[in-house]
Amino acid sequence: MIIDVGIVAAKAFLVLFMVLNLAGILGWIERKGSALIQDRIGANRASIFGLAGMGLVNTLIADPLKFLTKEDFVPPQGDKFLHTLAPCMALFIALVTFAVIPFGDVLVLGDRVINLQVANLNVGILYIFAIASLGVYGIVIGAWASNNKFSLLGGVRGSAQMFSYEIAMGLSVMGVLMIFGTLELQEIVRGQGTLIRDLLPDSVRFLTPAIGWLPAWGVFLQPLAFLLFFTAAVAETKRIPFDLPEGESELVAGYHVEYSGGKFLMFFAGEFAEVVTAAGLTVTLFFGGWQVPYLMRDGFHFPWGEVVLLPHLAVVLLQVGAFTVKVVFFCWLQILLRWSVPRFRYDQVMRLGWKMLLPLALLNMVVTAIVIIAVQ
Amino acid sequence: MDASLIVFYVLAALLVLTSLMVVFLRNVVHCALALVAALFLIAVLFLTLNAPMVGILQILVYAGAIMVLFLFVIMFLNPVAQEPRRVLWWGLGSLAAVFLAGSLAVFMSNGESLVDPVAANEAFGSPEMLAKSLFTDFVLPFEIASVLLLVAIVGAVVLAKRES
């Protein structure tokens, strides 16, 4: 009993630790990466004993210290309690989503089988959408409690944007859920462990030499859904090109214009945590989660027949490592997007969400359903 | 007293508290947020009763979607607290409360509870079971409800598109 509770607590701690640290490091990657893209040097001012550590001292030590020691300003006409609650909600919601994302298969220690996932809910993916739908409150409450026109406008924009893209996001994953026939994320990842040749129906069996060796990852089965989902997930993080709720050029800083010090840091960290979560979800649903191609529980089984056996611990480490690498890659992709793409106008954001993503997601769902029934 | 009963009483107490806050707080935005908290607590109650699907839908639909639109409207219109006919509302409210409490007392004095408070078995509230009953036994009401929603959506579009 005590050990079981301890294991769950350890898993929760591990996931929180990884997500928060990755969010912090992303702050550094963002500054150094944007400098790389724009041919600048980037953060290099702060140093400890002359060591700037490639700007790490700046973003990981100096910046947070500065945030935490600055004056915490609450607008006199604003709502003091809600002004404090809003950034807490924003960060909390961004962090708890990761609870159902599996970061590995099972770890067998002695006679104990540990599922490498904090919470295995049978409604898995719906939990994520439910929590994501609560993410609006951090913005809306913060915007309203600041008692500022700019922040209110930002809050209204943010809630409308997140609302619109949640629908497209939810519908775009329906195809994946139909193929794997489950809502549990761990089962979806396990389903992606097979090869495409095992899924091909007899009528198109001749394609086996061409595509049969591919792992049955969501992106190969549902390429359109992947594009739709990733677009919607990026829009949910409210970063450029979808940063209209902040809208620096017209709304100053949008919903967090009246935030300073530690509370602003919480919004800031929450945004990076959302980037990590978006990457984690994309990887889980479309890129095989912790799956390494051809790696089974006892080692590699290559499609040409070769078998390389590996000890259990090595397999688990490979899986967790693969998941981490994939997540980091998609975080980097989002940062690359942010610094390469110009921002949308607000009406363009709405048109993209309602008139392009939503109909395409519905189409994808219907086509997937027809194909599944035809194959059966 | 076993653990689940303690959890229930804590949840129920918080639920009553937040519901009272919805009614008694002076600021409309605070009331709306208290309602969000109450809906969230109801969802947790569903989770403890082995109905995770209903609980998650409760959050998704009510706390996450409908209440956001409520807040949206409240923030845009910023209604000032008005207190007309206060006595009348208090009178009607008290009357309704007394009636409810009275009928509850009558039922409970019969010695038998209205509902069986035993939690359903684990599979009962699962997505599979819900989907099965929705698409087999209750497929007609389910489809009628979807048509109703479609009519409401079309109506909303017509109203929004009307030339003024």
Residues contacting residue A374 through CB under 8 Å, at least 6 positions apart: none
Answer whether residue A237 shows pLDDT above 80: yes
In Å, how far are A97, A338, B2, B118, B131 from B48, measured between CA atoms?
Answer: 20, 42, 13, 12, 20
Tell whether B11 is covered by a domain.
yes
Task: State pLDDT tens for residues B81-125.
Answer: 555 667 787 888 889 999 999 988 887 777 666 555 565 666 677
Same domain, B3 and B73: yes
Burial class (CB in 10 A: 0-12, 13-18, 19+), A106: middle
Tell me, what's the ipTM?
0.77
In the prediction, which pLDDT does A283 show? 92
Among A122, A141, A152, beta carbon nearest to B126: A122
Q: Where are the alpha helices (DSSP H) in A135-173?
A: 136-145, 149-172
Greatest Cα pair distance, chain B, in angstroms, is 63
All residues of chain B having their beta carbon less than 8 Å from the beta carbon of residue A159 are 68, 71-72
* First-to-last C-alpha distance (Å) of chain B: 63
Token digits of residue B52: 């995770």
pLDDT reported for residue B164: 63
Tokens standing for residue B16: 């009553």
Q: Which of A274, A275, A267, A273 is nearest to A67 (CA)?
A: A267
Alpha-carbon distance of A81 to A91, in angstroms, equals 16
Domains in chain B, number: 2
- A304, pLDDT greater than 70: yes
Mean pLDDT, residues A355-376:
89
**Strand bridging mode A106-109 / A295-296:** unpaired
Do the domain assignments include residue B117?
no
Q: By residue range, what is the domain housing residue B2?
A: 1-79
Q: Mean pLDDT throughout A29-56? A: 78
Chain A residues in contact with B52 by the CB 8 A cut-off are 121-123
Do residues B2 and B73 both lie within one domain? yes
Q: In this complex, is the C-beta atom of A358 within 8 Å of any C-beta atom belonging to chain B?
A: no
Question: B3 and B74 share a domain?
Answer: yes
DSSP code string of chain B: --HHHHHHHHHHHHHHHHHHHHHH-SSHHHHHHHHHHHHHHHHHHHHHTT-HHHHHHIIIIIIIIIHHHHHHHHHHH-PPP--TTHHHHHHHHHHHHHHHHHHHHHHHHTSS-SS--PPPPTTTTSHHHHHHHHHTTTHHHHHHHHHHHHHHHHHHHHHHH---
Q: Is A59's Cβ below 8 Å from some Cβ in B?
A: no
Position B158 pLDDT exceeds 80: yes
B75 domain-assigned: yes
pLDDT of residue B95: 92
Q: pLDDT (tens digit, 9 = 90+) per residue, A69-95?
A: 888 888 888 788 888 888 888 888 888
Question: Are A7 and A114 spatial neighbours (Cβ–Cβ below 8 Å)?
Answer: yes
Kindly state the average pLDDT of the residues A1-29. 85
Domain assignment present for residue B110? The answer is: no
Task: Give the mean model confidence (pLDDT) for residues B54-71.
Answer: 85
**Cβ <8 Å between B64 and A134:** yes
Between the alpha carbon of residue B128 and those of residues A149, A180, A198, A308, the distances in Å are 47, 14, 25, 39
Q: Give yes or no: residues B1 and B60 share one domain.
A: yes
Is there a contact between B127 and A152 if contact means CB atoms under 8 Å apart?
no
Tell me the pLDDT of chain A averaged across its residues: 84
Chain A interface mutation, best of B58, B70, B73, B75, highest count of A Cβ atoms under 10 Å: B75
Task: Return the percentage of chain B with pLDDT > 70, whole number.
Answer: 85
Give the angle subtended at the CA of A113 by the CAs of A110 and A115, to the nearest 5°. Answer: 145
Residues ≥6 apart with Cβ < 8 Å to A71:
A260, A261
Residue that finishes a domain, picked among B19, B46, B79: B79
Contact A137 B68 (CB under 8 A): yes
What is the C-alpha to C-alpha distance for residues A159 and A157, in angstroms, rounded to an integer?
A: 6
User: What is the pLDDT, as a whole number, of residue B99?
Assistant: 93
* pLDDT score, position B80: 64
Residue A241 binned pLDDT confidence (cut-offs 50, 70, 90)? confident
Please indicate, yes or no, whether residues B75 and B138 belong to a single structural domain of this protein: no
CATH code, domain with B59? 1.20.120.1200
| Contact flag B29-A152 (C-beta cutoff 8 Å) | no
From B79, B106, B138, the end of a domain falls on B79
For chain B, say whether A369 makes contact (Cβ under 8 Å): no
Tell me what pLDDT residue B50 has: 76
Do the domain assignments include residue B86?
Answer: no
Q: Is the pTM of this model over 0.90?
A: no
